[in-house]
Structure 1
């Protein structure tokens, strides 16, 4: 068996696969994050360990872990987990959706070496500006920093006792030379850090270490089980869905929204605000358009409306032409294509007809148009997408998927029942590390059905997307 652990923002998921990549057991331990100030988002790394212990215990109750051969890790990207020389956590982890370091990010981005070596804008959510913020605002903590780890790599430290990262996650720090797949000393020095502060790097399908003996004994796992490098959450999800070659792509409707395209070449275009990162497999890269609030925006509105998100979307019926009301989903700033940490969301064009259903449609359409912005940005880099696989909690809404297919004017495919996301991809990477298997095992899932664009509404969505783009310009200074 092979275990995949996916450390997300809202929970740690574990999946066990057998030798035929069939799911044997799965479970999730919930997590919470804190927002002590506007634009802040933090999580206690200790809670990740408690969640991992719960996941191991639950999986052990569902399956015999004595047959475990490999473990893979997936995780939320960009988080700054700061350790002192005794591996003590110095402060809560600053998460991917934290935008407090906008000023520091702009300063680092003003150094041309960052875009040249990373192929990306230095976004406020990336790790490097977070360290610059800590140095400026919490200098007593910065002075004690001995190691900087990404969230899943802190979990790896608990599992193996090793400081190890991998390429796809490291690409989101703004310290990695994404083309050569190595730490860039010049960029580390720009934030008063060095290689000594960083974990060593492996590819996602390589062995990063072995499970510590006491953990193996505690959970009935054989000694010497290997732990793979793993991947950042989206790269691991791509491995789970078989999106590993040029031309393959997926759309993720999770807390954030992602339009992900695999590539066999390094082809950055930093000015587009498209992310160009190393993939979790050797010799491959990927590009992403990223929006900060997708299902997160729907869940926010569901809280306001006092009804579950599934109830709001399930009662919408057939796809309709967008109405007068617009929703801009910038609840905590935006990445692609705006790189704007300060912009905030808005409802525009409200009238007496804007009932709960109309506002629900506006929220789904707003996220859809943000993804259409990402698609245009990706096309501007020369990346071609003609169909998408849909994943994430938001993909349960046919209305939403029909809106995305229509706005992007391309088919959206739904996999057969099953979870092919980060935990599944992590387990596949664990299988590769344990057995030496290659990318041939990263096959796409069987497609249950395909949602085609609604041809009669394509123009209406295009026209409303034009209004949506104009609305961003109107609210950015509010």
Structure 2
């Protein structure tokens, strides 16, 4: 039996086909080859077209099939990982009523802040573990306030992965992990949040059916199965946001285990069995994929919007003639500290760890005589690593002190400069694994379909490729202090 994993990212769709017996990846494909467009009609807005996601998903699946390395009809289950916190709304014919408002869109910040101010006296933070912030529920409230003609036609709202599942199966559903990332789950009561729905005036009829994370979400529609060369008896059996799915892909499921990603955005994701909430809502707590009423498993998530997108932007501006490997090699030729250049990588919308402030990206201490473009490249990666340290210190304030951090050997973690900067400035060893979100989604599908008896069986093929030990810790502490001073000057303005 084969398992298909789909990873709906901001920049592309990636799919992987995994053999259920060996747990090995047989084939992978990505579409499009260049980064997908983010639509931004106004400053702070970020949208993508759900129909484009679907077209790209089909193209990626057919591209994987074209390798000829497997028989598509042997695919027995499908798992979906997706960019978190987005909003898709559809009418009764399941057609999107507008473009999706995605995770890095900042338009609903004021709505969420107002809600928190008015709900805080009722213990909202302790029961929901988050402020409404700029998350899915607040985005829907923005549509209700600003596009009433669209809201009135809404049949259901959903997360991006729920939309892909809908296109595959024709079924509208979600799960506790996904609903919690929209700040629509009351952890104290273990149920959908009446409080926030009532506050925003959102009827419960608009909420998709809520299933367990590992479930049969629906059988793939016959016409879709024919178009994609799949069996007529294949089900979607797993859905999760990209960060809980990344943690799953790294076998990070139990209290004390910590995962990280450094793709378009950067995340540290720590698993706990306690109802952790940060008083300032700088970090967020969501239901992990294995959370149940009997066994609390929550993911405390520290998000930095401007990580890989910072690296991508500076490459586009200064190194369009190079691939990332060449850029990384050139960066490594510059001494630690980038000869004084400091980069604040916060140019991708409101940052939660700054209480949803839009700080912007900044370049400090540039010297036209001494500095070349390789200095900029290294400084960008160091600045991203320093932003992870800033966030990790917030997690430490909340009692989460990782002894090791696991990450996929992908994206920024392919860069030796970033690897060393991250480990050095956080003073935590980093274990890098040959895995990614699409493989994690495929293995999640296997768990949801009952192919694997338990997680130990599912992840028996997980291989650690590299461990990066902290080095030059004192030097990185000194550089971080200088970087933090630059940041605090911006925050004080």
Q: Which residue of 1 aligns with 2:419?
A: 401
For the 8 Å contact 2:346–2:361, the answer to whether it is kept is yes
Seen in structure 2, the aligned counterparts of structure 1 residues 473 and 65 have a Cα distance that, compared at 3 Å, is same
Shift of 1:206: 2.0
For the 8 Å contact 2:16–2:27, the answer to whether it is kept is yes
Shift of 1:278: 0.7
Q: Which residue of 2 aligns with 1:331?
A: 347
Secondary structure, counterpart of 1:311 in structure 2? helix
Shift of 1:180: 5.0
In structure 2, distance between residues paired with 1:39 and 1:15: 33
In structure 1, distance between residues paired with 2:335 and 2:301: 28
Shift of 1:312: 2.4
Match of 1:430 among 445, 450, 467: 445
Shift of 1:301: 0.9
Match of 1:386 among 392, 403, 422: 403
Q: Which residue of 2 aligns with 1:66?
A: 73
In structure 2, distance between residues paired with 1:282 and 1:332: 31
Q: Which residue of 2 aligns with 1:459?
A: 474
For the 8 Å contact 1:332–1:341, the answer to whether it is kept is no
Match of 1:316 among 320, 328, 331: 331
Secondary structure, counterpart of 1:206 in structure 2? strand
Shift of 1:430: 0.9
- Give the length in aligned residue pairs: 472
In structure 1, distance between residues paired with 2:257 and 2:142: 37
Q: Which residue of 1 aligns with 2:7?
A: 6
Shift of 1:120: 1.2
Deviations 1:9-53 (A, max 9, x none): 111111111122111221112232212221111101111111122
Deviations 1:83-138 (A, max 9, x none): 122222111000001112221121122122542332013332x1122122222222
Secondary structure, counterpart of 1:140 in structure 2? helix
What aligned pairs does 1:54-203 form with structure 2 within 5 A after superposition?
Answer: 54-61=59-66, 62=68, 63-110=70-117, 111-112=119-120, 114-124=124-134, 126-178=135-187, 181-203=190-212
What aligned pairs does 1:192-271 form with structure 2 within 5 A after superposition?
Answer: 192-271=201-280
In structure 2, distance between residues paired with 1:179 and 1:281: 17
Secondary structure, counterpart of 2:181 in structure 1? coil
For the 8 Å contact 2:347–2:360, the answer to whether it is kept is yes
Asked if 1:414 corresponds to 2:432, the answer is yes
What aligned pairs does 1:265-304 form with structure 2 within 5 A after superposition?
Answer: 265-283=274-292, 284-304=297-317
In structure 1, distance between residues paired with 2:312 and 2:187: 34
Q: TM-score, normalised by structure 1?
A: 0.93
Q: Which residue of 1 aligns with 2:465?
A: 448
Shift of 1:373: 1.1
Seen in structure 2, the aligned counterparts of structure 1 residues 49 and 440 have a Cα distance that, compared at 3 Å, is same
Secondary structure, counterpart of 1:87 in structure 2? coil
Seen in structure 2, the aligned counterparts of structure 1 residues 258 and 380 have a Cα distance that, compared at 3 Å, is same
Shift of 1:433: 1.6
- Most deviating of 128-137 and 114-123: 114-123
- Most deviating of 444-453 and 314-323: 314-323
Seen in structure 2, the aligned counterparts of structure 1 residues 458 and 350 have a Cα distance that, compared at 3 Å, is same
For the 8 Å contact 2:23–2:459, the answer to whether it is kept is no
Deviations 1:359-379 (A, max 9, x none): 222211111111001111111
Match of 1:35 among 40, 43, 47: 40
In structure 2, distance between residues paired with 1:12 and 1:353: 40
For the 8 Å contact 2:47–2:99, the answer to whether it is kept is yes
Shift of 1:270: 4.4
Seen in structure 2, the aligned counterparts of structure 1 residues 56 and 302 have a Cα distance that, compared at 3 Å, is closer
Long gaps (5+) in structure 1: none
RMSD over equivalenced CA pairs, Å: 2.0
Seen in structure 2, the aligned counterparts of structure 1 residues 200 and 181 have a Cα distance that, compared at 3 Å, is farther
In structure 2, distance between residues paired with 1:183 and 1:68: 34
Secondary structure, counterpart of 1:162 in structure 2? coil
In structure 1, distance between residues paired with 2:58 and 2:418: 36
Asked if 1:341 corresponds to 2:326, the answer is no
Secondary structure, counterpart of 1:271 in structure 2? coil
For the 8 Å contact 2:246–2:259, the answer to whether it is kept is no
- Most deviating of 12-21 and 344-353: 344-353
In structure 1, distance between residues paired with 2:137 and 2:362: 30
